[in-house]
Structure 1
Amino acid sequence: MSAQTSVTTVYQVSGMTCGHCEGAVSAELSGIDGVSSAKASAATGEVTVTSDAPLDEEKVRAAVDEAGYELVGKA
């Protein structure tokens, strides 16, 4: 068996201003099947997501929306 490779994608999210914002976005994105980590930065407005396969952008958009923020797109 070969080792599974992970996919890292950086998304631009608008509206994050603090650590609470980062936590909310990271938590929602971490709930998507296949996501192994999600790290948001209010300073850059970016979220780095590592998953076992490319993610459906609509699922990412829905998770960010659920957290109360807006997905701008891939950074």
Structure 2
Amino acid sequence: MVKMIVGVEGMACGMCESHINDAIRNAFSVDSVSSSRSKKETDIIAEKPIEEEKIRKVIDQTGYQVTSYKVEPYEKKKGFFARLFG
């Protein structure tokens, strides 16, 4: 799994965050997506990296601007019992 951290300019409220999250969910198969207007970024968790240009196109169509793109490995956090019993 990977985590894509996408810098996004132009979010001003919770509806802006939701608009971007919905656009990403509708365009790609992702495990999770969350946006933060205060951090000016959207975090996307997926099995494989999504090409920067594809993400940029989807976000640009919503009226916001991609300012950065970074991919890093992601490991799902284990639940309490999984940590206890392995």
Q: Same fold (TM over 0.5)?
A: yes
Q: What are the Cα deviations for residues 29-62 of structure 1, in whole angstroms up to 9, with x where unaligned?
A: 1123332211000111010001110111111001
Structure 2: runs of 5 or more not aligned:
71-86
Structure 1 match to 2:43: 48
Structure 1: runs of 5 or more not aligned:
1-5
Please say which of residues 25-34 and 62-71 is displaced more in the overlay.
25-34
In structure 1, C-alpha distance between the alignment counterparts of 2:17 and 2:10, rounded to whole Å: 10
Consecutive aligned runs of 4 or more in structure 1 exceeding 4 Å deviation: none
TM-score when normalising by structure 1: 0.84
2:13 counterpart of 1:25: no
Percent identity between matched residues is 29
Given candidates 35, 54, 72, the residue that maps to 1:59 is 54
Which structure's CA Rg is the greater one? Answer: 2
Q: How many residues end up aligned between the 2 structures?
A: 70
RMSD between superposed Cα atoms in Å: 1.2
Question: Higher helix fraction: Structure 1 or Structure 2?
Answer: 2
Q: What are the Cα deviations for residues 5-47 of structure 1, in whole angstroms up to 9, with x where unaligned?
A: x211111000001001000011111123332211000111010
